[in-house]
Structure 1
Amino acid sequence: MRAFVFLLFLLVSARVVQGEPVSPGNQTIGKKTTARQHAPDSVLAAQLRCHFQAMDSNAAGPERRAFNTQLARFYAARSYRPVWTERADIAELIEAIGESENDGLIPDDYHIKEIRSFFLSPPRTPELQAKYDLLLSDAFLSLAYHLRFGKVDPESLDPNWNLDGTARRTALEYRLQNALAAGRPKAALYELRPTHSGYAQLKKGLARYRVIAGAGGWQKVPEGDSFREGVRDSRVPLLRKRLQQSGDLPGGIADSSNVYTAVMANAVKRFQKRNGLTVDGVAGTATIGEINIPAAERVDQIRLNLERYRWFVNDLEPTYVLVNIAGFTLQYIENGRYRWGTRVIVGQPYRETPVFKADMQYIVFNPQWVIPPTILAKDALPAIRNSRAYLDRKKLRVIDSSGRVVDPASVNWSGYSAANFPYRLQQTAGDHGALGRIKFMMPNKHVIYLHDTPTKNLFEKSERTFSSGCIRVENPLDLAQLVLQDSVKWNRKSIDSIIGTGKTSTVNLPKRIPVFLLYLTAIAEGEEIQFRRDVYNRDDRLQKALDSPVPEYRIESCGL
C-alpha cells in the first residue's frame, strides 16, 4: 500500500529540526514563537496519545489503518506535541487545500469543510483541540502525498506498473517535517507539484476548459453530410461558433454565412490534428463526433491525465524515451529537452501494450524473429495446423532445443500446444521480417521491445493499434543514431552498412536509456491541449478511482 510506503520512515528524527532539539514543553518551533490560546502541550499530548490508542483498527480499510499507524508514528516522534499551533499556518493550509482543485484534485478529500468550521470557531476543550490537530495533519500529509505521487495507486489499476519512488518519498517525509517546523506549509505543498512543463500546461488547459464548461459548454453540431470546402449548410454557423470556443478558429472573424470556407476547413484541420484524427479539413462523422464531446468531459479528461503525470513525472531522468500508447507517438528527450519524435504502432485492444518502464540496453541489427508464446498459441499453431504453407509464407524455420533446423513434415503439429511445444519458430532476417532491420532491446518480463516493421503503410492510419504488444517505430534508423550517441562511429552511412551485410549483430548502447511506456489521453503541446481516444478503455476506471472519496478518517473519542 502506497500510504504505508509513504510514511514508513516518517520522521523518526523529528525531535531534531534543523539540528536543534525540540522538547515537549518548548514554546518555540523553528524560529516562530507560538501564541498559546489552547491547552498546554502536556495536556494535548495526553489527548493525542489517547486518541491513537482509541482508534478502532477494525473500523477502517487496510490503507486507512496503515496511514493511521504512520500518523501515530509521526506524533510519537514528537512526543505527541501538537503540530498546528499557529493560525497563520492553518490559514495557509486551508488556502492550499482550496487550490488543489487547480491540480484536478478534490478539496473535500482533505477535510476542507471541517477545517474551515474549526478555523472560524476554534475548539475550546483539549479533546476537540487534539482532534483538530489530527485532522489538520491528516489533510496536510494526504495532500502532500497526492500532489507528489498521485491520489490513485497506479498498481491498483494495472499490476504492470513498476515505478518505485521509495527513495524520493523518504526525502519528502523529512522535507514536510521541516516545512511544518519552519511555518511554511503552503510553500512546501506548492513545491511538491510537478514542475514539468507538460504538467503546468495541462493545468492551464484545465482552467480554460473549466471556464468553457462553467459557461454552459458548447452546443452540439447536428449530424449530417460531411462539411467540405465550398458547401452551404445551415449548420455552418453553429460549427463556426464551436471552433471559436475551443480556439481552433480565431474569435474575431465576423462571418455569419452558411458557407464552409477555406478558413473554416483550416480550423477543422487544426482541430483534427489536436484530436489525433485524419487531417483533411473535412468535418465528417468522426470529426463531428469529437467536436460534440462536451466541455465537461474534456475537463475530466485533463484531470485524469494530470493524475497520470503525477505517477511518473518525478521519475523522469534527463535523457529518456517516452512512448505514449494512446497517442501512438515516441519522443526522445535529451538532457531535459525534446530532441526528436516519430509515429509508432502499438498493441491491438485485445493485446494491449503494457504500461511500464525499462532500460534500453542494446540494439540488434538484422534481427531474426522468434515467435513469442502468445502469438504461437493464438496465431501460429492454429494457422500451421490448417496449412503448413503458413511457414513458407512467413519464412519461418523450425528450430529444436539444440539449435538445429527441423523438417516441418516431421513435427506432429496436432500433438502440441503452446505450453509444451518443444521447438522455436524463427523468422529469417530481412525486409520481409516482422521486426524489419532493427530492434531496440530493453529487457523486461513482458518481452516487449521497439522495432522496425515491413508494414510502413500502417503509419498513415490515425489510430494505430495493430501490433501484438511490441512498439513498431516509423523511423527506427534515426532513433538508432540518437541512442548510440556517437555521430562519427554510428552515422547513417555506417548503420546502413551494417544492415547491408544481412548478418544479425548486436551493438550495446554506450549508456542505458530509460524507456517509459505510458498511456496519456490528454497532453499539452505548448498552449494547446491535445486529446486522444481512450483506445484501451482505461479512462473510466481511473475516473471512478480519482473521484472516489478517500478512506474515511475517524477520530475516536479517547475518554479522558
Structure 2
Amino acid sequence: MYSALFQMRFGYRFVAVLAVVLSLVLSGGSANAQVTAYKQAVATAAANDAALAEFYKSRNYKSIWTGRAGKDGQRRKAFLAALAKAGDHGLPVKRYDVEGLRARLKAAKTGRDRGRMEVEMSRLFLQYAEDMRSGVVNPRQIDSGMVRKVLHYDRLQTLQAFAKSSPAGFLKKLPPKTPEYLRLMKEKRKLEKLLGRGGYGPKVAAASLKPGATGASVVALRNRLVAMGYLKRSSTQTYDAKMQKAIQLFQRDHGLPTNGVAGKATMAEINKPAEYRLRSIIVAMERERWFNQPRGKRHILVNLTDFTAKIIDNNKVTFVTRSVVGKNEGDRRTPEFSDVMEFMIINPTWNVPRSIAIKEYLPLLKRNPNAVGHLKLVDARGRTVNRGAVDFSQYNERTFPFNLKQPPSRGNALGLVKFMFPNKYNIYLHDTPSKNLFNRNVRAFSHGCIRLQQPFDFAYALLAKQMSNPQEYFQTILKTGRETKVDLKTPVPVHLIYRTAITKPKGGMEYRRDVYGRDAKIFNALSKAGVVLRAVRG
C-alpha cells in the first residue's frame, strides 16, 4: 500500500530510481562504487521507458552492451556492423549515427557513463528493430488512403529475445524475408552504382520519335536505352528494328502500349532520371516492411498502380485480369489494406452507397423525380416508394431518408457478380457493364471499388478449389437471375497494395505511375526522417 501511495505521489520514474539506490546502498562497500554508479545511471536513464525499465530491473541491471568481455562485445560488434549497413535497406542512417555511437562508447570510462550508454544502445536497438521490421514512418499519418495495419512488435519481448539469441543471427532475421524485398535490395544496389557512373545520361530532347528517325535525339534515346539495359552498345544513329524492339520491352516494363513508338507517354517515362527510379525502389522497400506479415498460400493481390488483380498460389500467379480502380479525386481513391474474401454474390443488387446517393443522385432527383429510373427508391422499412409521391426538393444531403437500389440485371452497376471481403471501407471486387474502360492504359475511374475485366473466370478460379465443375455451377445460378450468395469454403486473403516499383523474378524492374501521389508523400516523409539517395562510385 505504501509503495502504491509513494508511486502516486512521486511518479514511476522516481520510485524506480529510488528502489535501485536503496538496494545499492544496502549492498554497501567502496569497491562497489563503480557498479553502484553504473546501475544507478541505468535505472535513471531507463526510468521513463516502461519496456527498458522492466527489462533492466528483471536482470538486476546487468548489461547486454557495455560489459568489457563475452557476449556484450559480440552484441556491440554485431549491432554496429548492422547499423553501418542500414543504408543498404533505405533506412535513415543519420537517425543511428553509427560513428558518433562508436565515439561515445569509446569515451564511456566511468560507471555512470557506461550506464547511460547501456540504455542508449538498447533504445537505439529498439528503434532500429522497429524501423527494419515495421517501417520507418507511419502510413496512416502520411495519407488517409493508406490504412494498412502494420505489425508492431512488443519492445520488451524484443529485448529479451535479443539478449538470449545469437546477436548476428537475430539482427539478420529482422528485415522482411520476402523474395520481393531481397530483389528490391539487389536492384537498389545496381541503381546506386549506375548513379555513381552518371545515371541514365542526358534526356532525350524530342517530344516523340518513330522508327526510321535519325539524328541527335535518336542517339540520346539509344544511350538511355543502353544505360537502362534495354539495348546493347552500338554506334547506330537510326531508330532501327533493334531500337524499336528495345522500346517495346521498355513499354512492357512500364505498363504502356507496346507499339514500339516512343510517343509522348513513353518519352515521359524514358526521361525520368535514375534518381526518380531509386526513390520508387526505396519507397517499395518501406512498403514491404509495412507488409511484413504472412500473406496466405493462396491470396488475391490487387496492385492499384498496375490496374491488375491476381490470384497467387504458393508464390505463383495462377490467374490475372485487368482492373479499374478508384478515381484520383476526393474520397474515390481506393484505400490500401488487407482483409479476407468470404463469399461471392451472383446476380447482385446494387445498394447505392449513401455518399453517391446524396452527392450525385439527389441533385438529379430534385430536378427530375423520374431521373435514374433504373434505381428503386426504398424507405427505412425496406418498402419501395413511389417517386411521384415524394417532394425531393425538401431534402438535403443530411435529411435524405431513402436508400437507392438497383435490382439484379446485366445493366447493374456491379454487373453480374461481386466478390466480398467485408470491411468498413465498403470496398469489394465486382463485374461491370462498362467494359470499354479496360482498354484504357490508366484505369482509375470507379468510386473506389475494383472492377474486373474477367469476373466470371475469376469466379471459376476461386470455386475450382471446392468443386469439380465451377463454370457449370456458376452459370446455372447466373441463369436464374436471382441474387445468390456463394460461400468460399476456404476464405482467401485479399491484399490491396500500391507499388510503383515491382521486381521481376528473373531480374530487372517494372515501374508504374504514382496515380494517387502517395509514393511522393512517402518519400518526402522518409527524407524528413533522414533517408538519403546514394550514388556508389567504383
1:128 aligned partner: 113
Secondary structure of 1:72's counterpart equals helix
1:229 is aligned to 2:211: yes
1:153 is aligned to 2:138: yes
Q: Distance in 1 between matches of 2:97 and 2:54?
A: 21
Q: Distance in 2 between matches of 1:530 and 1:76?
A: 51
1:372 is aligned to 2:357: no
1:94 is aligned to 2:80: yes
1:44 aligned partner: 38
The structure-2 alpha-carbon separation of the partners of 1:228 and 1:341, relative to structure 1 and needing over 3 Å to count, comes to same
The one-letter amino acid paired with 2:123 is D
Q: Distance in 2 between matches of 1:447 and 1:359?
A: 13
Secondary structure of 1:406's counterpart equals coil
2:92 aligned partner: 106
Secondary structure of 2:292's counterpart equals helix
Aligned length, in residue pairs: 491
Secondary structure of 1:257's counterpart equals coil
2:160 aligned partner: 177
> Are the equivalent residues in 1 in contact too, given 2:52–2:156 (CA < 8 A)?
no
2:267 aligned partner: 288
The structure-2 alpha-carbon separation of the partners of 1:148 and 1:376, relative to structure 1 and needing over 3 Å to count, comes to same
List aligned pairs for 1:374-389, cutoff 5 A.
374-388=355-369
The structure-2 alpha-carbon separation of the partners of 1:489 and 1:219, relative to structure 1 and needing over 3 Å to count, comes to same
1:218 aligned partner: 200
2:127 to 139, 142, 159: 142
Secondary structure of 1:363's counterpart equals strand
1:274 to 246, 250, 253: 253
1:321 aligned partner: 300
Shift of 1:427: 1.5
The one-letter amino acid paired with 1:510 is K
1:189 aligned partner: 171
The structure-2 alpha-carbon separation of the partners of 1:548 and 1:73, relative to structure 1 and needing over 3 Å to count, comes to farther
Shift of 1:245: 1.0
The structure-2 alpha-carbon separation of the partners of 1:549 and 1:69, relative to structure 1 and needing over 3 Å to count, comes to farther
Shift of 1:388: 4.5
> Are the equivalent residues in 2 in contact too, given 1:373–1:418 (CA < 8 A)?
no
CA-to-aligned-CA distance 1:136-162 (integer Å, 9 cap, x gap) = 222222111111111112222245625
Q: Distance in 1 between matches of 2:242 and 2:156?
A: 54
Secondary structure of 2:216's counterpart equals coil
1:307 is aligned to 2:286: yes
Shift of 1:348: 0.5
1:544 is aligned to 2:530: no
Shift of 1:239: 0.7
> Are the equivalent residues in 1 in contact too, given 2:151–2:292 (CA < 8 A)?
no
2:371 aligned partner: 390
Identity percentage over the alignment?
A: 32
Shift of 1:334: 2.2
> Are the equivalent residues in 2 in contact too, given 1:41–1:81 (CA < 8 A)?
no
Secondary structure of 1:338's counterpart equals strand
CA-to-aligned-CA distance 1:362-407 (integer Å, 9 cap, x gap) = 1110112121111112211222333455323xx2222233333322
The one-letter amino acid paired with 1:271 is F
> Are the equivalent residues in 1 in contact too, given 2:34–2:110 (CA < 8 A)?
no
List aligned pairs for 1:330-409, cutoff 5 A.
330-350=309-329, 351-388=332-369, 390-392=371-373, 395-409=374-388
Q: Distance in 2 between matches of 1:223 and 1:319?
A: 47
Q: Structure 1: which 5+ residue stretches go unaligned? A: 1-23, 25-37, 56-67, 551-560
The one-letter amino acid paired with 1:449 is Y
Q: Distance in 2 between matches of 1:76 and 1:547?
A: 37
Q: Distance in 2 between matches of 1:186 and 1:109?
A: 21
Q: Distance in 1 between matches of 2:110 and 2:324?
A: 64
> Are the equivalent residues in 2 in contact too, given 1:222–1:235 (CA < 8 A)?
yes
The structure-2 alpha-carbon separation of the partners of 1:225 and 1:290, relative to structure 1 and needing over 3 Å to count, comes to closer
Shift of 1:71: 2.5
2:459 aligned partner: 480
Q: Structure 2: which 5+ residue stretches go unaligned? A: 1-23, 25-31, 531-538
> Are the equivalent residues in 2 in contact too, given 1:442–1:449 (CA < 8 A)?
yes
Q: Distance in 2 between matches of 1:428 and 1:181?
A: 62
Secondary structure of 1:405's counterpart equals coil
The structure-2 alpha-carbon separation of the partners of 1:220 and 1:463, relative to structure 1 and needing over 3 Å to count, comes to farther
Secondary structure of 1:345's counterpart equals strand
The one-letter amino acid paired with 1:208 is K
> Are the equivalent residues in 2 in contact too, given 1:223–1:288 (CA < 8 A)?
no
